[in-house]
Amino acid sequence: MNKLEQEILALLKTNARIASSDIARLVKSDEKAVNKIISKLEKSGIIVKYATIINDEKTPEFKDTVRALIEVQVQPQKNTGFDAIAKRICNYDNVVDHYLISGRYDFLIIVEGSSLQDISQFVSEKLAPIDHVKSTTTHFMMKKYKQDGMIFENTSELSRLAVSA
């Protein structure tokens, strides 16, 4: 990726709704060129999607949402390694994140559900019975402090001196 592409990507990463005209001014380019680069990044799959970071705790529906982090140990398979098993797991809609990691276990997945029972049911009926899944450890999430670089804590607006030399 060239420098201009990287710069545009960095701006979109912090604000997906920034207007192309603003990007053009910030990177000293023209809007047409910026749009061209963005569609190239979209087509090549570098930009996957424009999502929104939401602080669920502030939504009225939050009390109906439960999130869990699940460690999964699996037996990798000949030829496909972890990938075939991973595919079976991450196809579930309630699996919101899925990573292969090093260490004591293999997959770290984040699952969303409407209640503890909902998630327990998913683990016992869907996840654990998958072939080659050896064990699971479920950690229910209690509070989210930071996501994708955003801190959720209520910080008071710091104000600078309105006029200073």
Partner 1 sequence: MRYPFSKKLETIPPSGIRRFFDLVLTSEDVISLGVGEPDFVTPWQIREAAIFALEKGYTSYTSNQGLPELRLAICDYVKERFGVQYHRDHETMVTVGVSEGVDITLRALLNPGDEVILPEPTYVCYDPLVKLAGGRVISVDTSKSGFIPDPKAIEKAITPKTKAIILCSPNNPTGRVIPKSILLKISKLALKHDIWVISDEVYAEILFKGKYTSFAALPHMKERTILLSGLSKAWAMTGWRIGYICAPEEVISRALKIHQYAILCAPIASQMAAIEALRHARKPIKQMAHSYLQRRDLFVDSLNDIGLDTFTPEGAFYCFPSIQKTGLSSEEFAIQLLEKERLAVVPGSVFGKGGEGYIRCCYASEIGELKEALKRFKRFLL
* Binding interface with partner 1 (CB under 8 A): 7, 11, 15, 18, 22, 25-28, 158, 160-165
| Cβ nearer to partner 1, comparing 142 with 161 | 161
| Cβ nearer to partner 1, comparing 48 with 165 | 165
| Cβ nearer to partner 1, comparing 6 with 80 | 6
Cα 104 from chain centre? 23
Task: Sort 85 into a burial class: Cβ within 10 Å, 0-12 / 13-18 / 19+.
Answer: buried
Tell me the closest approach of the beta carbon of residue 26 to partner 1, in angstroms.
4
| Cβ nearer to partner 1, comparing 91 with 155 | 155
For the chain, how far is it from start to end, CA to CA, in angstroms? 41
Tell me the closest approach of the beta carbon of residue 22 to partner 1, in angstroms.
7
Handedness of CA 50, 109, 59, 150 (dihedral sign): negative
How large is the angle between the packed helices 31-43 and 3-14, nearest 10 degrees?
80
Tell me the closest approach of the beta carbon of residue 13 to partner 1, in angstroms.
13
